[in-house]
Amino acid sequence: MKLKNGFVLRQVCGENVVVGEGLDAINFGKLLSLNETAAWLWTQAKEMGDFTVDTLTARLCEEYDVAKDQATADVEAIIKQWDELHLVDMA
């Protein structure tokens, strides 16, 4: 899967938010606030291009002191949220 084009992570008033650019901004019509870890995962996913739950989990475990089971659950939850907001292409 990969993050859809047209969405970017920005700092707004000290908050990490995902916003749409161009037509995606009109269609999205909202800001998605991300905590520090979720913003870090967004950045990793963007850098990877194509990613999976497993590849993001591995990076999360390398960067943070977190058990693999917890990291997997966290990654699955954030990807589910991104998917519900149509921010990822699951193909």
- pLDDT tens for residues 49-82? 999 999 999 999 999 999 999 999 999 999 999 9
**Measured distance CA(44)–CA(49) in Å, rounded:** 9
Cα distances (angstroms) measured from residue 60 to each of 20, 21, 71, 74: 25, 27, 7, 9
Nearest by Cα to 51 from 22, 25, 83, 9: 83
Assign 24 a pLDDT band (cuts: 50, 70, 90). low
* DSSP-assigned beta bridge partners for residue 17: 10, 33
pTM summary value: 0.87
Integer Cα distance of 33 and 11 in angstroms: 10
